[in-house]
């Protein structure tokens, strides 16, 4: 029987919460907590679209995301990207993933002439920062859209569904849900599952860490991911009702 660092069962999420209103100047914001991983997710509205949309005559609006690990979020200080003069590859990959995930559940035609900016800043990293960012970004964006609709800047809710994400993996030869850093570091297989609230897949990312995995193990990880996303979706719903 597997013994996880925090004694969770293999299919158990860490404590997850979304605390609204942590960034008062943003239209919508939450502190997303997945165990000891903490990410501020904020949404703001810009009344213009990217240059490429204007040049190409693309109708509708846009959503884009930025992601950063704050210097004190990890055990060893992480230099700010600006001090190095460029974004690292991991940062670029994650912010593109966040943007793709939210755009998958958006009708961009309802954001005509507008750009919805999502900022995800990791205060504390203990595994699953990208999944916490996606899940929290949806809640922040939904709160922002609600405010924009009340102000008359958006006529119709552009969201067609909700979206959430969770990590899964093979740790000590066992499929597990929601990996903390220690598990992620030592996992034979690491994967991320991004899904909509209605149970459709947005993205699956999986790779063996100097290891391979079987079709049965992949199926087990997907099943765990579906379970985790469904539970996160209910937490999102509860926060948005309040």
How many whole angstroms separate alpha carbon 24 and alpha carbon 20? 10
Average pLDDT rounded to a whole number, residues 210-230: 95
How many whole angstroms separate alpha carbon 10 and alpha carbon 192? 16
How many whole angstroms separate alpha carbon 110 and alpha carbon 139? 18
DSSP 8-class letter at 73: S
Per-residue pLDDT tens digits for 144-194: 999 999 999 999 999 999 999 999 999 999 999 999 999 999 999 999 999
pLDDT of residue 82: 62
Average pLDDT rounded to a whole number, residues 93-122: 97
Kindly report the pTM of this predicted structure.
0.93
How many whole angstroms separate alpha carbon 165 and alpha carbon 160? 17
pLDDT of residue 73: 80
Q: Structure tokens of 60?
A: 């509708």
In the predicted structure, residue 214 carries a pLDDT above the cut 70: yes
Q: Structure tokens of 169?
A: 């993996």
In the predicted structure, residue 1 carries a pLDDT above the cut 90: no
pLDDT of residue 89: 82
Residue 41: helix, strand or coil by DSSP?
strand
Q: Are 34 and 64 contacting, i.e. CB atoms less than 8 angstroms apart?
A: no
Residue 49: helix, strand or coil by DSSP?
coil
How many whole angstroms separate alpha carbon 204 and alpha carbon 212? 16
How many whole angstroms separate alpha carbon 101 and alpha carbon 99? 5
In the predicted structure, residue 105 carries a pLDDT above the cut 80: yes
- Backbone φ and ψ of 127, nearest 5°: 85, 140
pLDDT of residue 87: 72
In the predicted structure, residue 88 carries a pLDDT above the cut 90: no
pLDDT of residue 85: 63
Residue 90: helix, strand or coil by DSSP?
helix
Percentage of the chain beyond pLDDT 70 is 97
How many whole angstroms separate alpha carbon 59 and alpha carbon 61? 7
In the predicted structure, residue 86 carries a pLDDT above the cut 80: no
Burial code (b: 16+ CB inside 10 Å, e: under 16) for 214-231 equals: eeebbebbbebbbbbbeb
162: which residues sit within 8 A by CB, 6+ positions away? 105, 138, 142, 196, 197, 233, 236, 237
Highest-confidence range of 44-58, 77-91, 130-144, 197-211, by mean pLDDT?
130-144
Per-residue pLDDT tens digits for 21-70: 999 999 999 999 999 999 999 999 999 999 999 999 999 999 999 999 88
Q: Which range has the worst mean pLDDT, 65-79, 136-150, 219-233? A: 65-79
The average confidence (pLDDT) of the chain is 94
Burial code (b: 16+ CB inside 10 Å, e: under 16) for 165-185 equals: bbbbbbbeeebbbbbbbebbe
Task: Give residue 98's pLDDT band: very low, low, confident or very high (50, 70, 90).
Answer: very high
In the predicted structure, residue 242 carries a pLDDT above the cut 70: yes
Burial group, residue 66, by CB count within 10 angstroms (0-12, 13-18, 19+): middle
Counting every residue, how long is the chain? 242
Q: Are 193 and 134 contacting, i.e. CB atoms less than 8 angstroms apart?
A: no
pLDDT of residue 71: 73
Average pLDDT rounded to a whole number, residues 115-125: 97
């Amino acid at each position: 029987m597997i013994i996880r660092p925090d004694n969770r069962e293999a299919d158990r999420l860490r404590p997850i919460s979304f605390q609204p209103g942590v960034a008062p100047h943003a239209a919508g914001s939450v502190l997303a907590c997945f165990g000891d991983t903490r990410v501020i997710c904020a949404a703001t509205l810009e009344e213009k679209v990217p240059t490429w949309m204007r040049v190409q005559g693309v109708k509708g609006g846009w959503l884009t995301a930025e992601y950063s690990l704050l210097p004190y979020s990890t055990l060893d200080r992480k230099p700010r990207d600006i001090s190095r003069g460029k974004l690292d590859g991991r940062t670029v990959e994650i912010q593109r993933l966040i943007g793709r995930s939210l755009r998958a559940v958006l009708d961009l035609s309802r954001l005509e002439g507008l750009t919805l900016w999502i900022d995800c800043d990791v205060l504390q990293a203990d595994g699953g920062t990208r999944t916490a960012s996606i899940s929290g970004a949806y809640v922040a964006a939904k709160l922002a859209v609600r405010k924009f609709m009340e102000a008359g800047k958006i006529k119709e809710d552009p969201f067609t569904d909700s979206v959430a994400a969770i990590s899964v993996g093979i740790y000590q030869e066992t499929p597990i849900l929601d990996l903390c850093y220690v598990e992620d570091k030592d996992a034979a297989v690491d994967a991320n599952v991004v899904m909509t609230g209605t149970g459709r897949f947005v993205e699956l990312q999986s790779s063996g860490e100097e290891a391979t995995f079987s079709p049965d193990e992949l199926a087990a990880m997907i099943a765990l991911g579906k379970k985790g996303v469904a539970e996160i979706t209910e937490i999102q719903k509860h926060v948005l009702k309040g």
